[in-house]
Amino acid sequence: MQIEWTTYDPGEFYDEMISSPGNPRRAAHAIASYLQRLSAKQLGRRQHAADLAIAEMGVTFTVYSEGTNIDRTWPFDIIPRIIPQKEWTRIEEGLKQRMTALNMFIHDLYNEQKILNDGIVPKKLISGSKSFLPQCIGASPRFNVWAHICGSDLVRDKDGTLYVLEDNLRVPSGVSYMIENRSITKRVFPELFRKHHILPVDDYPAHLFDMLASLSPRPLDYPEIVVMTPGIYNSAYFEHAYLAQQMGAELLEGGDLVVGADDCVYMKTIDGLQRVDVIYRRVNDEFLDPEVFREDSALGVRGLMRAWRAGNVALANAPGAGVADDKVIYTYVPAIIKYYLDQDPIIPNVPSWRCEDREQREHVLANLDKLVVKPANESGGYGMLVGPHATTVERGKFVNLIKRNPRNYIAQPTLGLSTAPTICGQHVEPRHLDLRPFILQSDRTYVTAGGLTRVALRKGSLVVNSSQGGGSKDTWIVDTGGN
Amino acid sequence: MLSRVAERLYWTARYLERAENTARLVRVFSSMMLDLPKGVGLNWRQLVDVSGAHEHFDRNYRTSGERNVIKFMLSDMDTQGSVISSLAMARENIRTTRDLVPSEGWEHVNELHLFARKKLAGKSIPKDRHEFLSEIIMRCQQITGLLAGTMSHGPAYQFVRVGRNLERADMTTRMIDVGSATLIAPGVELERLENRLWTYVLRSLSAHQMYRQYVRRRIQPGQVLAFLLQDTIFPRAVAHTLGEIASCFEKYLPHSEEPLRAALRLQRLVADANTEKLHTEGLHDFIDLLQFEFGNLHQEISATWFSMEMDEAL
C-alpha cells in the first residue's frame, strides 16, 4: 500500500493535498513527503492503531434506522486534510460575518420584522415556515443572539471555490469528533506535531463554556450550566456526554428538570432541587416543552418556554433559531448579509434555484438530471435527490413532490466536491469531502481552527453524512507563512 | 449531583462487582466439581440455586448439565447476573455517566466488555475457563481500584462505594451458601469434607491468607463463618461491607436517616449471629434473611436518593 503520489490522480476534481499527480500543494508538502516515506507496513500499523484507539474511546455514532442503540464505530481515515492558514483566516472572517448577519435576521424576524417590511425577504416565506415559532415573537435573548452554536457546511467545487452549502442553527453535531480525531492523529503521528505548526482544536469546550456562561441570567461567578440530551438512544449522545464532561457541566434529560411556580428551572439532585441558569439543549424545538409544543414529548420540560420568556433561564440555541437554516431562507443569505451589514458575503453561497418562483421551477424541472434537489426542512441528507445519480422513477417522484409543494424545495447544481487522499483497503485513493467548522456567538464570536472534515468513503459518492456511510478525517490548519 | 446519575453510578458499581463475583463463583464451583469425590452429590444445578436465579433458568433451559449452567452463568445475555450481561449493564450505566467518571474508567469498562464478548462469542464454555475467569476478576478489580484512585471521593464516588459494598455483601453470603453443607447429599460423611468446602469458599473470596492471619489455626467452620460474616477489617466480610455503607451514609450523603437505620439494623443482625451454632443448623435460613434485608436496604437507598417525587421536593 506504500503511497506513491505520482500515481495518485484526482482527475477532474480539486484535490486538497495533491494539485496534480506527484505534486503536493505547498501547505501539504511536508506531510505528503512524510507519508511517502512510510512503508506499507508502517502505514497499515498506524491505521490499525487509530482504529484501536477509536474502539477504546468508544467513539460511536448510533444510527437511527438500526433501531436499538447498537454502537457503530465511525470510520476514521488517518491522512489529515490540510488547509493553509492564510486561506483559513479569510474563511473565519466569512463565517463570523455570516453568523452575525443571521443572528440579526432571526432577532428582526421575531421582533420588528424590518427585513420583511422592506421586502427583502417575502413575508409569506416566514409565515409559511414550520420553523418560525409564533411562541417566540417579542422575545429578547441576551445580546439579541439566538443561534449561539452553528455548524456551517463548506464545500469546494472543481475550480477550487469554497461555498457555504448550509448553516446548521438548530442542534448541530460533530464537534466532539473534531476533537477526538485530533487526539487520535496526535497518537498516530506524534512526530508531525513536533515539526509543524498546526493550530490546536482542543480548546473548543473552554470556549463553549465561556460562551454559555456569558448567557447566564444571574450574575454569578459559577452559573449552573447544563447539557440537555434526548438520552442515550440519540445518535449524538456520545457528543452530549463528551461536551458535558469536558465543560464540567451536568448532563441531564428533560425528566431531571422541573419548572417551579416562580418560573425558574430546577434540576433534581440528591440534595433536592437546584436552580439552573443556562441550558445547552440538544433537544429539538418541538420537543422542548409539552406545554407549548408537542404535547406527547417525553423529552422536554413542562413550562420551559415560560421560564425562558421570563428571562430566568438561557437556552442555547434559543427556540425558533432554526427559522434561519431553512433551505429556502438560505438562498436569501447573501441579501441578508447585505441588508444588515452592508457588506458583500466573504464566502459565497452555492447558486440556487427556488422552486417557488415559476421560472426557476421550470428550469429545475427541465434539468432534474443535472441538479441536486433539497427539501427546505430536513437535515442529515434525508429527503434529497441527487439528480445525476437518481433513477427515472426517483426523478419522477420529485417532479410530483415539487409541483405539489414548491415552497418546500430548492435546487442546486451538482458540485464536483473536492477530494483528499484516503486509505481505501490496500490503496490510497481520492475521496470526496466537506468541512463543518463550528461557530460560537454571544457578545463575542469564535470559530474553530478547521472543523470536522467528513469524507464519503464509497468510491465516487458525494454523500458524506455519518448516517449514510461517511467517515471523517482530522483537519489541519497549517501555517506555512505563504499561500 | 443528579439523582439519575447517582442511580447509574450505584448500578455501575453493583454490576461490576456482580460480574467479578459471578466469575469467582463459577471458578470455585468448577474446581470443586473437579476435586471432590463423585459420591458427595455435588452437581451443576446447585450453582444455579446459589446464584438465586433458578426460576429464570428453569424457564429457559431443559437440562442442567455443565454446558447449560456455565452458559447461563457466563454468556447468556438474558440472564440477569451472568458475567456478560453484568458487564453490558455496567458499561451501559457508566456510558451514561461519563461526565462524572474519569475517561479511563469508561475506557476500561468498555474494553473489558469487548474482551468478554469476544472470548464468549459463539461458545457456551470458554476454552481456557480458568484463565478467562481469572482475567475477568483481575480486570474488575483494576477498575474498582482505578475509580478509587482517580475519582474525587465526593458524593458521586460514595454511590459507587455503596453499590460495590452492597453487592459484595450479597455475593459473600452466596459464597457462604456454597460452604454450607446444604450442597452435600445426606448421609455423606461430612467432617473431613467440611474443611475442604470452607477452604474453597475462603479461596474463592481471596480470603484464605487473611483468614490464616486472623485465626492462626487450621480451618474450622464456625471460625470461617465468623470471619466472613463478622470481621470488620477484611474487605469482603459482610460486617466490613456494612460498615463501609454506613460510613458513606453518615459522612457523605445528605438526608440519609432512613437508609442508615436499615444499614445499622443489618449490622446488628450480623454482629449478634451465633456462628458456632449457625454452622450446624439454620445457616441457609439466616443467609436468606440477610439477602432479604439487603433488598430492603436497596429499597431505602432508592427511595431516598433516586426516585424522589418532584412535588414533594418543591
Rounded to an integer, the average pLDDT of B6-18 is 96
- Chain B neighbours among A 57-76 (CB < 8 Å)? 57-58
- Given a cut of 60, whether residue A164 has pLDDT beyond it is yes
Q: What is the distance in angstroms between the Cα of A321 and the nearest Cα belonging to chain B?
A: 28
Query: Does some domain include residue A470?
Result: no
CB-hemisphere CA count at 13 Å for A421?
30
How many structural domains are present in chain B?
2
The domain that contains A395 carries what CATH number?
3.30.1490.270
Residues B127 and B201 in one domain: no
pLDDT tens for residues B284-294?
899 999 999 99
Boundary (domain end) residue, out of B151, B175, B195: B151
With cut-offs at 50, 70 and 90, classify the pLDDT of residue A66. very low
CA-based radius of gyration for chain A:
23
Contact indicator for B180, B30 with CB cutoff of 8 Å: no
CA dihedral A211, A215, A219, A225 (to 10 degrees): -70
Please list every residue in chain B whose beta carbon sits closer than 8 Å to the beta carbon of residue A251: 5, 98-99
Instruction: Please indicate if any CB of chain A lies within 8 Å of the CB of B4.
Output: yes
Average pLDDT of the residues of chain A: 90
- Given a cut of 50, whether residue A65 has pLDDT beyond it is no
- Given a cut of 70, whether residue A370 has pLDDT beyond it is yes
pLDDT score of A59: 56
Report strand pairing: A162-168 vs A272-275.
unpaired
For chain B, counts of helices (H) and of strands (E):
16, 0
Look up cell 467518571; give the residue.
B101
Look up cell 453470603; give the residue.
B173
With cut-offs at 50, 70 and 90, classify the pLDDT of residue A70. very low
Residues B27 and B96 in one domain: yes
Query: Does some domain include residue A456?
Result: no
How far, in Å, CA of B114 to CA of A75, rounded? 18
Query: Does some domain include residue B54?
Result: yes
Query: Does some domain include residue B314?
Result: no
Residues B146 and B175 in one domain: no
Count of other CB atoms within 10 angstroms of residue B54: 14
Residues B232 and B103 in one domain: no
If DSSP codes are grouped into helix, strand and coil, which group holds residue A84? strand
Q: What percent of chain B has pLDDT over 90?
A: 61
How far, in Å, CA of B93 to CA of A240, rounded? 15
With cut-offs at 50, 70 and 90, classify the pLDDT of residue A230. very high
User: Which long-range CB contacts under 8 A does A132-135 form with residues at least 24 apart?
Assistant: A132/A320, A132/A323, A133/A285, A133/A319, A133/A320, A133/A323, A135/A292, A135/A293, A135/A305, A135/A319, A135/A320
Contact indicator for B161, B248 with CB cutoff of 8 Å: yes
Residues B6 and B120 in one domain: yes
Phi-psi region of A342 (alpha: psi -120 to 50; beta: other; left: phi over 0): left
pLDDT tens for residues A438-463?
999 999 999 999 999 999 998 888 87
Nearest to A478 by CA among A95, A200, A177: A200
In a mutagenesis test of the B interface, which of A269, A274, A276, A280 is the best target, namely the one with the most B β-carbons within 10 Å? A269
3-state secondary structure string across A335-372: HHHHHHHCCCCCCCECCCEECCCHHHHHHHHHCCCCEE
Contact indicator for B262, B302 with CB cutoff of 8 Å: no
Query: Does some domain include residue A198?
Result: no
Residues B223 and B300 in one domain: yes
Q: Which residues are bridge partners to A81 per DSSP?
A: A475
Rounded to an integer, the average pLDDT of A290-307 is 89
Boundary (domain end) residue, out of B132, B151, B170: B151
In a mutagenesis test of the B interface, which of A265, A267, A270 is the best target, namely the one with the most B β-carbons within 10 Å? A270
In chain A, whose CA is at the least distance from the CA of B6? A270
Residues B147 and B164 in one domain: no
3-state secondary structure string across A102-170: HHHHHHHHHCCCHHHHCCCCCHHHHHCCCCCCHHHCCCCCHHHCCCCEEEEEEEECCCCCEEEEEEECC
Query: Does some domain include residue A339?
Result: no
User: What residues make up the domain containing A400?
Assistant: 351-414
**B107 with A58: Cβ contact below 8 A:** yes
Nearest to A438 by CA among A391, A393, A470, A475: A475
Residues B175 and B269 in one domain: yes
How far, in Å, CA of B280 to CA of A459, rounded? 75
User: What distance lies between CA A375 and its chain's CA centroid?
Assistant: 17
Residues B181 and B227 in one domain: yes
Boundary (domain end) residue, out of B151, B185, B219: B151
User: What residues make up the domain containing B166?
Assistant: 153-309
Rounded to an integer, the average pLDDT of A160-182 is 92
Q: Give the closest of A56, A242, A268 to B2, CB-based.
A: A268
Give the N- to C-terminal CA distance of chain B in Å, as an integer: 17
What's the helix, strand, coil split of chain B in %, to 5? 75, 0, 25
- Given a cut of 50, whether residue A62 has pLDDT beyond it is no
Residues B69 and B168 in one domain: no
CB-defined contacts A:B, below 8 A? 71
Q: Which helix (H) or strand (E) holds B273?
A: none
Range with lowest mean pLDDT among A118-122, B35-39, B72-76, B127-131? B35-39
Residues B88 and B164 in one domain: no
Whole-angstrom CA distances from A74 to A262, A337, A380, A425, B269 are: 44, 36, 15, 16, 53
Give the N- to C-terminal CA distance of chain A in Å, as an integer: 31
How far, in Å, CA of B291 to CA of B182, rounded? 17
Q: What are the backbone angles phi and psi of residue A446, rounded to the nearest 5°? A: -130, 140
Nearest to A10 by CA among A422, A470, A370: A422
With cut-offs at 50, 70 and 90, classify the pLDDT of residue B12. very high
The pTM for the full model equals 0.77
Please list every residue in chain A whose beta carbon sits closer than 8 Å to the beta carbon of residue B106: 58
pLDDT tens for residues B116-171?
999 998 776 777 899 999 999 999 999 999 999 999 999 999 999 999 999 999 99
How many structural domains are present in chain A?
1
C-alpha cell at A72: 457503530
ipTM (interface predicted TM): 0.72
